[in-house]
Amino acid sequence: MKRFKQIFIAFFILFSFLFIINNEPSIIAQQTATEASTGFDNQSNGLTDAATHKKNLEGFAEVEGIKDGIGPVFNSFSCGECHSNPVIGGSSQITELRAGHFDGQKFIEHPGGSLIQSRAIDASIVEKVLEGNEVRALRLSLSILGDGFIEAIDDAVLLDIAKQQPNLSGGKINGQALWVPIEEAPGVMRIGRFGWKSQQASLLSFSGDAYTNEMGITTPLFPIENTSNGKSVGKFDNLTDPDEEDNDDIDGFTEFMRATKPPSRDQQLANTSSALAGETVFNNMGCAICHVSTFKTLPAGFKINGSTFTITPALGDKIIHPYSDFLLHDIGTGDGIVQNGGQETRNKIRTVPLWGLRTRNRFMHDGLSLTVNESILRHSGTATSVIDKYRTLSKKQKQQVLTFLNSL
């Protein structure tokens, strides 16, 4: 019996030892995760060398003309025009217009698609909102800085956040993770994370979409030209579609975006006692349930977007602080538009990442809140019980929260 006990103990020790050895790689992997370097400095995060980044940046900011395929209907002449503050790739004050009709059960897109292009190369084809399309929405330009790291977040992480969101007195904070198609990998779906509706998961898909829909330049990935309110504009189009014979331009935009650094904190403010206290209040109130501060990206070598992109060391195992869960929420600000999601997404908006907040002077999807305080007070719906806590803060605590937000 005693012998039996000794053998048992010996085996126990051996197995524990093997277990520890076996687990070591994951312990090492955790230790190697490092903070992504940040900055509004137009420099590469290391994905590409400085010369390639400069070339890609110039491509992103390049003003295109009609002979390059601009229009016939479009919104602007370059990616950089709407993504430029405070450096190329940031946000801007430019808004876009979307419209459609709600028949009591479902959203029906405006003829020609819910995006109403605001410019055209001929006076007769400028798109208008037609009668009967009572759902109208403005959408503010978003920043793309640091988006390569967001693309490198695992679906499972986003699904897990959605699952863990708590039941509060005002109801469940039930962020919705949306499966969206990867255009460059037909049949593959991933959790959306880009755009006000989390309507895209891949930066290449977003680039192809934006080149066609913002600028009117079609590519093999997005070969179909827009219409004017549903009517063909072919007679104003001198180029045969796709305007670009290859996907080189959108590959360049994608590489540029993947190589950008995330926004940096305001170093003067970030470590003040007021900002530090403000972040604690922010967390304690429950703002961080949706505005999640910290993520770790997938490791280098991991393939995403249907194996069309392999995460490199510049993007892999990096720690970032976007202050978003990238999920859709009904906080009472929904714009009634459905994109890449079901009817239940109509009145939901993605939690906007708060990094880089201090560079913006218009807030929320429509840009119609003009101070940070107003944008916070505009949250209702599933955010009500959290915002009620904000309302009852002392003047000093409120100031601390705003100081923290202004340091982002």
Q: Does 204 bind ligand HEC (CB under 6 A)?
A: no
Per DSSP (E only), the strands in 54-194 are 73-74, 95-102, 107-109, 115-116, 119-120, 135-140, 167-168, 171-172, 179-181, 189-191
> Which one of 88, 120, 259, 352 is in contact with ligand HEC (CB under 6 A)?
352
Please compute, for residue 168, the number of CA atoms within 13 A of its CA located in the half-sphere on the CB side. 18
**Residue 121 or residue 290: which is nearer to ligand HEC going by CB?**
290
**Residue 79 class from Cβ within 10 Å (0-12 exposed, 13-18 middle, 19+ buried)?**
buried
Asked whether position 211 contacts ligand HEC by CB under 6 A, the answer is: yes
Helix (H) or strand (E) holding 52: helix 50-61
Among 38, 207, 228, 403, binds ligand HEC (CB under 6 A): 207
**Residue 195 within binding range of ligand HEC, rule CB under 6 A:** yes
User: Could you tell me if 299 and 29 are in contact, meaning their C-beta atoms sit under 8 angstroms apart?
Assistant: yes
Q: Is 363 in the site for ligand HEC (CB under 6 A)?
A: yes
- By CB under 6 A, which span of 44-52, 103-111, 230-238, 286-294 interacts with ligand HEC? 286-294
Answer yes or no whether residue 333 interacts with ligand HEC by CB under 6 A: yes
Nearer to ligand HEC, 100 or 286 (CB): 286
**Burial of residue 293 (number of CB atoms within 10 Å: 0-12, 13-18, 19+):** middle
Distance between CA atoms of residues 270 and 258, nearest Å:
26
Q: Provide the minimum distance between the beta carbon of 212 and ligand HEC in the complex, in angstroms, as a whole number.
A: 9
Site for ligand HEC in 64-93 (CB under 6 A): 75-76, 79, 81-83
**Separation of alpha carbons 223 and 185, rounded Å:** 16
Among 347, 372, 397, 400, binds ligand HEC (CB under 6 A): 372
d(CA 211, CA 72): 13
Tell me, residue by residue from 212 to 251, as one string, x for binding to ligand HEC by CB under 6 A and - for no binding.
--xx------------------------------------
Distance CA 39, CA 162 (A): 30
C-beta separation of 211 from 220 below 8 A: no
Cα(283)–Cα(236) distance, rounded to whole angstroms? 54
Q: Which is nearer to ligand HEC, 196 or 316 (CB)?
A: 196
CB 250 within 8 A of CB 221: yes
Stretch that binds ligand HEC, among 24-32, 50-58, 309-317, 355-363 (CB under 6 A): 355-363
Does the footprint of ligand HEC cover residue 144 (CB under 6 A)?
Answer: yes
137 part of the interface to ligand HEC, by CB under 6 A: no
Instruction: Name which of 139 and 321 has its Cβ closer to ligand HEC.
Output: 139
Q: Identify which of residues 16 and 391 has a Cβ nearer to ligand HEC in the complex.
A: 391
d(CA 227, CA 111): 9
Q: Is 357 in the site for ligand HEC (CB under 6 A)?
A: yes
331 binds ligand HEC (CB under 6 A): yes
Q: How far is it, in rounded angstroms, from Cα 69 to Cα 323?
A: 38
The beta strand positions in 315-359, using DSSP E, are 318-320, 328-329, 349-350
Q: In sequence order, what are the residues at sequence separation of 6 or more whose Cβ sits closer than 8 angstroms to the Cβ of residue 337?
A: 98, 100, 107, 114, 135, 137, 197, 346
Residue selected from 64, 84, 96, 219 as contacting ligand HEC according to rule CB under 6 A: 96
Is residue 285 at the binding interface for ligand HEC, with CB under 6 A as the rule? Answer: yes
Q: Alpha helix locations (H) across 192-336? A: 203-215, 248-258, 267-270, 273-285
Please report whether residue 375 would count as binding ligand HEC according to CB under 6 A: yes
Nearer to ligand HEC, 19 or 403 (CB): 403
Does residue 365 interact with ligand HEC by CB under 6 A?
A: yes
Binding site for ligand HEC (CB under 6 A): 75-76, 79, 81-83, 94, 96, 139, 141-142, 144, 147, 173, 194-197, 203, 206-207, 210-211, 214-215, 253, 257, 282, 285-287, 289-291, 329, 331, 333, 349, 351-352, 354, 357, 360, 363-365, 372, 375-376, 379, 382-383, 386-387, 390, 401, 405
